[in-house]
Structures are given as structure tokens and as C-alpha cells.
Amino acid sequence: MTKDGVFSEELASWGKMVGEEARKNFDFWLNSGIYEKYLSGSNVLDIGFDGYIDGVQPITPKAIGVGLNYPDYDGKTLPFPDESQDTVFASHCLEHIDDYRGALTEWFRVVKIGGHLFITVPHQFLYEKRIIIPSKFNADHRRFYTSASLLREVEEAIDPLQFRVRHLEDNDRGFDYSIPPDEHSVGCYEIILIIEKIASPPYADAINSPPTFRTASAAEFISAQRPGQDFPVMKISSRNAPQSVIIFKMDHLGDFIAAKPVLAKARQAFPGATLTLVCGHWNVDAARKLEQFDEIIEFSLFARYSPVNGTIDIVQRLEELRLLLNGRVFDLAVDLRVDADSRVVLKHVNAAVRAGFGHKNLFPYLDISLPLVSSTKERCSDLIFADARRFEGAVGKHLGHTLEIPADRYPRGLTIVWGPYCHLSKGEYLISLVLADEEGKCPPFDYDVTCRGGNLRLAYGSCGEVTGDGLLLILDEDVDDLEVRIWGKDEHSKTSYIRGCTFTKFGKMGGAHQTEMMAMLMALTEHRVRAQPFEEQIA
């Protein structure tokens, strides 16, 4: 018998009515004591309990199932008081939520001291069985998870001094490892994390106090060896400043212009050092006019202007950069690009100290890091990918996650592909079709974007090598049935393949401008390389 007086037999019957993923675990949880320990309280919330199946019940007979249709629930803020729940249970829900920090914080808010947050998410290498998004089996998945990445998100959202991990498991009970990656898994394929909410200890404020720094007028770099790497690490003492500094600003023209006020003070930041700048060839003249750098290396990693489509294989270009640097060693390397896509370059530069934007847990090779402040969902940018399974075609056929458009004559005005009928919140978007012919080139199709059953045209454009395939879309209100339609264009001589469509949402600028952010990174770097070793002084 459980704490609430319900017999196990009755609970076993109840387990046949809960959500699809929880159902596979219910009997095990019941027999192993997990249910008794973490789910038998009088006040339990089951977040997103109904999922994709009608008629399911919350995880316990007394639990409240919270879905989007729950009274006074807006999908973000739970209509329950602080510390009112014994357990908040969320099964296969977090991976669908863009603002995972906000969701975790809100779920944890309503948990009592001594209560539990019980989370399950699909395992990246058991369910997804691939390295990067999109998911092959659920296009609505925003992120992939391992035990480490799930716990990292929890630690980002919740003060680690307010919880303890009570259960963390890679659940592969009944998992069939013989099923290939292209087929849906059988058995359990999830991560289970249960944390207990505790009262903040008396020393919490002291631990969370910021460290104080003692500075000196100069510093000396002393080579040391970073474990597992061939490159040296520089320790800081108090005699000499860095003698060789390399700064990377491998950016578009506009981003380089934004960086000019910061680059113009490079000599002031690192007096006496040999300064090297790495930039695109279109920015070399502007860099020379700054009269700050002893050497300028042309390395065009990105395009002159921000492209509307396409990605750069940075890893493939690293060998080219190595040849340009020719084995040179630098005291300090700084990457001033705000976006994180170039950060990996620092990992492959033989520099004693490396500075750049980003969190240390994402870029452990950064010796000086300036984490970007995470915006709320309303202010941040977003990338939504609708794969080919959400599209249909009047011609061709589906090949797994690709829709084939065969070579043929397609009269103008004939809609040959349509979809994905997705929801977009209001804002500004860049729409890009993931479309290529058999030679890897973008075919010259026309397309438009509509809603309200195709009766309201929102935007239209063309894709192809000349026009590009990016289309700006401005939505003044939410749209629930966004449709992208590809039109015939008389003749198409090559077979083409559409993998889907990306919707890149432009975030609202709510924080520092990128010029200010670059100035902050340079100031932080200058301070750190001129500082004595510091010790935290707890007030």
C-alpha cells in the first residue's frame, strides 16, 4: 500500500492510462519504490501529461494534469503558489520548449522544500541516434540530451545550492540495440533526472558573492603545460605584459565596422606587444587605416556580407589557418566575433591564453571568457527547422527526410510543393529553403508564404544562385498555419531535393550592442593579463 492508501493493484491499472512514455516505466517505478518515494505525495503536477494521445491520465490518481488548456495557464507561468507541490513531473516535455531556463525555473518554483522535480527526456544516442538537430523522429524537438547536458541546463536555470540530485539514469530497459539509426527505437530510450529541493544553506550568500581582484601594474607570462594538449598555458605573475597578441575578427563588413572603435584601441590595451590581426580580405584596408597592427593576415572565413543561406565548414578550414600561422606561438589570442561559430578557431591556435565570448562549460579551452547574457524568450533569437516530412508535393516522392522533385516541365502557377503549416509567433524572420539539385546547386524556383488556408499572402520570392533563397517575413501577430508554396517555373532540367525550411527569428536588441560587448571583452582581457594571481575574498 502506498502513502495515499491506494493499493498497488489499483495503481498498476492506473499505469495503463498514463502518457505513452511514462506507461513504459510505470510498473518498474511501482515495484522498485521510485513511485512510493517520489510520486506518492498529495500534491503532484504532471506537466504536458496529455502529449499527442487523447484520453490519457496524469501520472497519479491525485495528480493535476497541466496542459495548455488548463485554466489560467498560459504555457509559461503555473497558476499555483510557491512551494505548494510535493512533486512536479514532466515526461518528454522539456525537449519541446524553447525557453528551457524559464520552464525549469517555473517548475522548481512551485516545489516544496523536500519535494522533487522529476524530469524525463529522450536520450540523444538512444532515441535521436544522431549528432545534430533536427530530430529524425520528432521535428518539434528543440534540443538533444545526454545526462550531462540535461544536468547542465538544470544548473543554468536553478541555483545549485537549492537542490540535490537524487536520481540520474540512462534508462535503456528493453532497448533493442540491433535496430539501425534510421528506424525508430524500441524499448526505453530516455534520461531520468530527479532533484530534491532543499533550503539554501546559511553560507549560500557567501558562496554567491563575487570575487574581488587585486591588480598590479604589469604581469608576466610563464609557460606551463595544459594537460592533454601540445600548446602551453600562461600563468600570470607580476613582471612583464604579453609580448605577442593575435586578434581574430573574421567577420562580415558590417560587423567589422562595429568593431573599429574597439580595434582602434588595441595598442593602448596591449602596449609594447606585437599585434597581429586576422580578418577577411574586404576588411584589410580598413584595418590598415587604424594603424594599430604590426601584421594583418587575410583569412576570409565568412562572407563580405551576411549570407541569407548557407553555412561555413569551419573545421575544414582550420588546416588552411594552420598553414597561414605556420606554427607560430602567441602569448594571447582573442576572438572578437560575438557569434559562437568561430570560437573553435581559438582551440587550434598555439596561444598561451585564449579569450572570447561564451561559457566555459561550452568552450573549456577559453582562459578568459565573457558569457553572453541569456535573454528571455520574447527577446531572444530563434531558429525553427521544419523538415521535409511536413511538406507534400504534387510531384515526386518522399525519401525519408527528403522530398524529391524530379526533372520535368512545371507550368507557371502550378504549386508543386507545399507545407509545413507551422506556428510562428509575431516577429521578424528570415526564411530559407533547404533545397538543392543533384549537383548541389539551388534550383531557380519561385515560392511564397501564406496563411489562413493560403488566402493571405505574406511574402514571396525566388531561390537560385543569383537571387539567393532568403526571404524576409514580418509578422504583426501570431500565425498558426504558415504555409510555404513552391511554384513551377516552365522547365526544370535537374532533379531537386527539398529537406525542409528554416525560420530564423531576429531577436530584439535588449542588452548591449555588439560594439559594447567587444569593448567589454577587450577590457576584461586587458585587466586579466595585467592582474596578479587573485584570490577570492569572501565578505
Q: What is the pLDDT of residues 83-123, one digit of tens each?
A: 999 999 999 999 998 888 889 999 999 999 999 999 999 99
- Report the candidate in 337, 332, 325 with the shortest Cα–Cα distance to residue 272: 332
Type of residue at 378: E
Tell me, what's the pLDDT at 316?
65
Mean pLDDT over residues 362-389, rounded? Answer: 69
Query: What is the domain partition of the chain in residue ranges?
Result: 8-205, 221-373+513-529, 382-505
Tell me, what's the pLDDT at 155?
86
Q: Assign 29 to helix, strand or coil.
A: helix
Q: What percent of the chain has pLDDT over 70?
A: 81
Domains 8-205 and 221-373+513-529 share a fold: yes
How does residue 42 score in pLDDT terms, banded at 50, 70 and 90?
A: very high
Tell me, what's the pLDDT at 224?
43
Place of cell 530527479: 194
Mean pLDDT over residues 523-539, rounded? Answer: 58
Using alpha carbons only, give the angle 10, 167, 364 rounded to the nearest 5 degrees.
150
Q: Which residue has the higher pLDDT, 507 or 329?
A: 329
Tell me, what's the pLDDT at 232?
43
Beta-carbon count within 10 A of 148 CB:
10
Q: Which residue has the higher pLDDT, 208 or 401?
A: 401
In tens, the pLDDT along 180-222 reads 998 999 999 999 999 999 998 988 777 665 444 333 333 344 4
* Cα–Cα separations (whole angstroms), residue 45 to 58, 117, 434: 8, 10, 40
Distance from C-alpha of 219 to C-alpha of 526, rounded to nearest angstrom:
11
Architecture of domain 382-505: Sandwich (2.60)
Contacts of 357 (CB under 8 A, 6+ apart): 335, 337, 338, 340, 343, 369, 370, 371, 372, 517, 521
Q: Which residue has the higher pLDDT, 413 or 197?
A: 197
Mean pLDDT over residues 367-381, rounded? Answer: 59
**Span of 17-31, 226-240, 480-494 with lowest mean pLDDT:** 226-240
- Report the candidate in 260, 296, 265, 291 with the shortest Cα–Cα distance to residue 279: 296
Tell me, what's the pLDDT at 231?
46
The residue length of the chain stands at: 539
Sequence-ordered strand ranges (E) for 336-389? 351-357, 368-370, 382-387
Dihedral sign of CA atoms 348, 349, 350, 356 in order: negative
Tell me, what's the pLDDT at 508?
54
Residue 19 has pLDDT above 70, yes or no: yes
How does residue 330 score in pLDDT terms, banded at 50, 70 and 90?
A: very high
Tell me, what's the pLDDT at 109?
94
Mean pLDDT over residues 6-23, rounded? Answer: 80
Tell me, what's the pLDDT at 177?
95
Architecture of domain 221-373+513-529: 3-Layer(aba) Sandwich (3.40)
Contacts of 5 (CB under 8 A, 6+ apart): none
Do the bridges between strand 163-171 and strand 190-197 make them parallel or antiparallel, or are there none, so unpaired?
Answer: antiparallel
Q: Which residue has the higher pLDDT, 255 or 178?
A: 178
Mean pLDDT over residues 437-449, rounded? Answer: 79
b/e code 96-122 from CB counts within 10 Å (16+ = b): bbbbbbbbbebbbbbbeeebbbbbbbb
Domain 8-205 has CATH 2.30.40.10: no
Tell me, what's the pLDDT at 234?
42
Distance from C-alpha of 378 to C-alpha of 382, rounded to nearest angstrom:
10
Q: What cell does 122 get?
A: 529522450
Sequence-ordered strand ranges (E) for 184-329? 190-197, 221-225, 232-236, 244-249, 274-279, 295-298
Q: How many helices (H) and strands (E) does the chain have?
A: 12, 25
Tell me, what's the pLDDT at 302?
72
Tell me, what's the pLDDT at 308?
38
Contact 281, 301 (CB under 8 A): no
Distance from C-alpha of 355 to C-alpha of 270, rounded to nearest angstrom:
14
- Report the candidate in 76, 72, 80, 42 with the shortest Cα–Cα distance to residue 60: 42
- Report the candidate in 443, 447, 448 with the shortest Cα–Cα distance to residue 495: 443
Q: Which of 75-89, 129-143, 242-256, 312-326 has the highest mean pLDDT?
A: 75-89
Distance from C-alpha of 370 to C-alpha of 528, rounded to nearest angstrom:
12
Mean pLDDT over residues 465-472, rounded? Answer: 56
Q: What ranges in 197-264 are assigned the alpha helix state H?
A: 204-208, 253-263
Tell me, what's the pLDDT at 358?
81
Q: At what angle do helices 100-109 and 147-157 cross, to 10 degrees?
A: 70
Distance from C-alpha of 232 to C-alpha of 410, rounded to nearest angstrom:
61
Contact 262, 243 (CB under 8 A): no
How does residue 43 score in pLDDT terms, banded at 50, 70 and 90?
A: very high
* Cα–Cα separations (whole angstroms), residue 99 to 83, 107, 375, 378, 480: 22, 13, 9, 9, 19
Tell me, what's the pLDDT at 226?
46
Contacts of 75 (CB under 8 A, 6+ apart): 68
Beta-carbon count within 10 A of 312 CB:
15
Tell me, what's the pLDDT at 292?
93
**Span of 46-55, 91-100, 319-328 with lowest mean pLDDT:** 46-55
Average pLDDT score, the chain:
80
Residue 379 has pLDDT above 90, yes or no: no
Tell me, what's the pLDDT at 101?
85
Place of cell 539567393: 468
Per DSSP, 509 falls in state: -
Q: What is the secondary structure of 375-396 as a DSSP string? A: PPTTTS-EEEEEEGGG-EESSS
Q: What cell does 198 get?
A: 532543499
Residue 462 has pLDDT above 50, yes or no: yes
Residue 24 has pLDDT above 80, yes or no: yes
Tell me, what's the pLDDT at 221?
42
